[in-house]
Amino acid sequence: MLKRVFIPNRGEIAVRVIRACRELGITSVLGYSEADRESLAAMIADEKICIGAAAPLESYLNIPAILSAMEVTRADSVHPGYGFLSENPFFIEVCNASRLVFIGPGPEQVRLMGDKSEARKIVRKNRLPVIPGVDSLIDIKDAVKQAKKIGFPVMIKASAGGGGRGMRIARTVDDFVAFWPACQQEAKNAFDNPSLYIEKFIERPRHIEIQVLGDHYGDILVFPERDCSLQRRHQKLIEESPSPAVDFSVRKRLQKIAKKICKVIGYNSVGTIEFLMGAKHPYFMEMNTRIQVEHPITEMITGFDLVKAQIEVASGEKIRFSPSVVPFTGHSIECRINAEDPERDFLPCPGKITHLVLPGGPGIRVDTHIYQGYIIPPYYDSLLAKVISYGRDRQEAISRMQRALEEMKIEGVSTTINFYKKVLEHPVFQSGRYYVGWLEKILSGMKDRQSSVLLHRGTNG
């Protein structure tokens, strides 16, 4: 077993890894930025060391500083969490060369699946379902020709990244020509790679993903699916497991595909295979070679600790579970509570939390790094907490989440709590008939109504 795990990350995921280390009897060493000196993670870690200034490039993305800190603190391994260096193959190679265990997959796997075009080629080569599309395009004339062959509408995506960057839906040739340069520039800025790929756009799809866990002995576990279709600007907001749109036969097919992909690439850590599903037909979209933000809902319905398992596998242990398909009971929902103002187009709201009440009770879990008096820095993403509910069925999970959101109080900054209350009581969410794009339609309608009210007030003012 590893003895000293270095954690160059922040927020709730750093807290989550520290807690997993403590349960395993491992010393946690936090690498924090100047802005996170007073963070909860810094308070509860066994040891800590500052790795740089507030800006991510000077701290959480500063590989030389992180390596120096690991040497000084005598760490034998590093857990990257998610974001920052979690999917950086160069960082993994440097760790390996320094005889430091990277708690995650190897650099070859990260590099292969990190390039979406290459990942699609691997999946297609093994006769697994991929959305019709064309990879690694640079020239706009060639791209237009390929888009016409596929048939509009099409989705333009960055070959080397995610998070919604370099992504547009083109419904006509004119749209395509207008969006292409902007997508290339975004891809270049975000990933230093202007290459794009295009794929057929599926109307009203579901975003479904399968959690996987592999070890160094060729064993692969596959878990029940998560539904991540409730998104804004390609960023997930609410997730649930199992999906209300997936039946037993579709679940088995998704798990079979995910397991085969892991076997083909020799995967040996936690990861997630993501699919876009039209009707009952799933298509491979991408693989994330790290722990996901939404992993708690899988833990809630399976009783499986994914972060501890990830550390154990990295230590060289064999997966201690059989069979290869993990059973589940009940239903779980996660809401990502962000420091954002929905009334102002979800504008980030850093500042001081003056009053805090966290929910509890049966079936409620809160993963967070905030506390009363905590000052939210402006340098990072706006995630404050993940509220996770569990119920014997979907309706009980919804009811418990609604209760939790009523109990939760965060004052001093704007948050998305009230927005989630409205989403959860909406008939479409209650029925489970939502899809990727539905939430943005609701938001657009809310914005139009607000504009109408403001215009009416102005006319009578």
CATH of the domain at 62: 3.40.50.20
Do 136 and 228 have their domain in common?
Answer: no
**pLDDT for the residue numbered 450:** 56
- Structural domain ending residue among the three candidates 103, 118, 140: 103
In a domain, 455, yes or no: no
**pLDDT for the residue numbered 446:** 67
The whole-number average pLDDT for the span 107-119 is 92
Question: How big, in percent rounded to 5, are the helix, strand and coil portions of the chain?
Answer: 40, 25, 35
CA-to-CA distance for 40 and 384, rounded, in angstroms?
Answer: 12
Residues 143/176, Cβ–Cβ less than 8 Å: yes
**pLDDT for the residue numbered 55:** 96
Number of structural domains the chain divides into: 3
Do 227 and 372 have their domain in common?
Answer: yes
220 band by pLDDT with thresholds 50, 70 and 90? very high
Do 269 and 144 have their domain in common?
Answer: no
Do 416 and 314 have their domain in common?
Answer: yes
Res 241 pLDDT > 80 = yes
**pLDDT for the residue numbered 456:** 46
Among 48-52, 122-126, 449-453, name the most confident range: 48-52
**pLDDT for the residue numbered 81:** 98
Q: DSSP class of residue 233?
A: T
Res 229 pLDDT > 90 = yes
100 band by pLDDT with thresholds 50, 70 and 90? very high
In a domain, 58, yes or no: yes
**C-alpha angle with apex 135: 129 to 137, nearest 5 degrees?**
160
Residue 80: Cβ within 10 Å count:
26
451 band by pLDDT with thresholds 50, 70 and 90? very low
Bridge partners, residue 340, by sequence:
348
Res 455 pLDDT > 50 = no
List, for residues 49-81, the tens digit of each pLDDT value.
999 999 999 999 999 999 999 999 999 999 999
Residues 251/267, Cβ–Cβ less than 8 Å: no
**pLDDT for the residue numbered 246:** 97
In a domain, 75, yes or no: yes
In a domain, 122, yes or no: no
List, for residues 405-431, the tens digit of each pLDDT value.
999 999 999 999 999 999 999 999 999
**pLDDT for the residue numbered 322:** 82
Amino acid at 223: F
Do 214 and 324 have their domain in common?
Answer: yes
In a domain, 120, yes or no: no
Query: DSSP string spanning 290-319?
Result: S--TTHHHHHHHH---HHHHHHHHHTTPPP
State both tokens at 410. 């965060």
**C-alpha angle with apex 290: 287 to 296, nearest 5 degrees?**
105
Q: Work out the percent of the chain whose per-residue pLDDT is above 70.
A: 96
Instruction: Of 44-53, 94-103, 118-127, give the lowest mean pLDDT range.
Output: 118-127
Task: Supply the CATH number for residue 314's domain.
Answer: 3.30.470.20
Beta pairing, strands 355-357 & 409-411: antiparallel
Q: DSSP class of residue 416?
A: S
Residues 437/204, Cβ–Cβ less than 8 Å: yes
Task: Supply the CATH number for residue 157's domain.
Answer: 3.30.1490.20
**pLDDT for the residue numbered 458:** 44
236 band by pLDDT with thresholds 50, 70 and 90? very high
Q: Tell me the three state secondary structure of residue 395.
A: helix
Do 142 and 99 have their domain in common?
Answer: no
CA-to-CA distance for 384 and 322, rounded, in angstroms?
Answer: 36
The whole-number average pLDDT for the span 32-50 is 98
Helices (H) and strands (E) counted in the chain, each on its own, are 15, 23
Beta pairing, strands 196-200 & 168-170: unpaired
Whether 290 is a known active-site residue: answer yes
Do 137 and 270 have their domain in common?
Answer: no
List, for residues 180-205, the tens digit of each pLDDT value.
999 999 988 888 889 998 989 998 99
**pLDDT for the residue numbered 460:** 38
State both tokens at 196. 């794009």
- Structural domain ending residue among the three candidates 143, 168, 200: 200
Closest by CA to 271, choosing from 253, 254, 258, 252, is 258
Bridge partners, residue 52, by sequence:
33
Amino acid at 83: G
Res 448 pLDDT > 80 = no
Beta pairing, strands 383-391 & 351-352: unpaired
**pLDDT for the residue numbered 447:** 64
In a domain, 260, yes or no: yes
Do 320 and 389 have their domain in common?
Answer: yes
Do 304 and 366 have their domain in common?
Answer: yes
Q: Of the listed 10, 206, 251, 290, which one is catalytic?
A: 290
Query: DSSP string spanning 189-204?
Result: HHHS---EEEEEPPSS
In a domain, 171, yes or no: yes
Do 273 and 327 have their domain in common?
Answer: yes
- Structural domain ending residue among the three candidates 165, 183, 200: 200
**pLDDT for the residue numbered 1:** 82
Res 452 pLDDT > 60 = no
List, for residues 303-333, the tens digit of each pLDDT value.
999 999 999 999 999 998 888 899 999 999 9
In a domain, 125, yes or no: no
Do 146 and 269 have their domain in common?
Answer: no
Domain range for 436 is 206-445
Torsion of CA 80, 83, 85, 87, to 10 degrees: 100
List, for residues 146-173, the tens digit of each pLDDT value.
999 999 999 999 887 666 778 899 999 9
Do 243 and 353 have their domain in common?
Answer: yes
